[in-house]
Amino acid sequence: MLDVFDIYTIIFLALAVFIFLRLRSVLGQRTGRERPPYPTQEGLRRSMDTVVPMPQRPAETAPRAVGPEVPPPADRWKDITESGSPALAGLDAIAAADPNFDGKHFIAGARAAYEMIVTAFAGGDRRQLRSLLSREVFDGFDAAITERERRGETAESRFVSIDGSTVTAAELRNRTAQITVRFISKLISATRDRTGAVIDGNAEKVSDVTDVWTFARDVSSRDPNWKVIATEAGQ
């Protein structure tokens, strides 16, 4: 299996450097009126068919160490979730059910998947989206792209940076792990009409964007891919 995580990391870093050099002098802030740069599924039913393959650890990575090298409970989820968060118990339960679960690798994969999906939606890249989303979620994205094309509109989404990715909720339901991540990013996002005029967003300003996505995975399955079961615009 190809080292998907490393490939995505290289692509992400190269893209981030390029965008940063191009946009370092551009300033701005979200006004609160912009539409999220993807179709939200508020109230989406949490089903096991909503698939987003996430970049994974390299196959050759050695099993996680046990014994004295295991981080103490207070430090285990440092930089993954906030101290005292109710998600801590859920992360502990997931790690107990899946010894290969690694919080930092999960976050890295979630960040990569988040950027790829938002960018692919803006570009109308159905092939990329189909490989990242389940049939249910893909259908929602596809319908939004189709409507955008019918109106003769085009979308632009360019990441400047992802400044935060924090687990806000985690739980183990039977053998299904569910993890919710809040992403805080800087994004340039705009929609243009047939004439090229901007009708939503701002093609010159960097917006501060918060999104909340939930991922799920059957910890008893050999399939290492996580699955998106909700995408929402955060506050």
pLDDT given for residue 115 in this prediction: 95
Distance in angstroms (rounded) separating the CA atoms of residues 184 and 234: 9
pTM more than 0.85: no
Residue 15 pLDDT > 80, yes or no?
no
Residue 5 pLDDT > 70, yes or no?
no
Residue 14, H or E segment: helix 4-23
Q: Please tell me whether residue 99 adopts helix, strand or coil conformation.
A: coil
92-121 burial: b if 16+ Cβ within 10 Å, else e:
ebbbeebeebbbebbbbbbbbbbbbbbbbb
Would you place residue 123 in the very low, low, confident or very high pLDDT band (cuts 50, 70, 90)?
very high
Residue 90 C-alpha from the chain's centroid:
19
Rg (CA), the chain: 18
Q: What is the pLDDT of residues 193-231, one digit of tens each?
A: 999 999 999 999 999 999 998 898 999 998 888 878 888
**CA atoms in the 13 A half-sphere facing the CB of 80:** 27
Distance in angstroms (rounded) separating the CA atoms of residues 167 and 15: 25
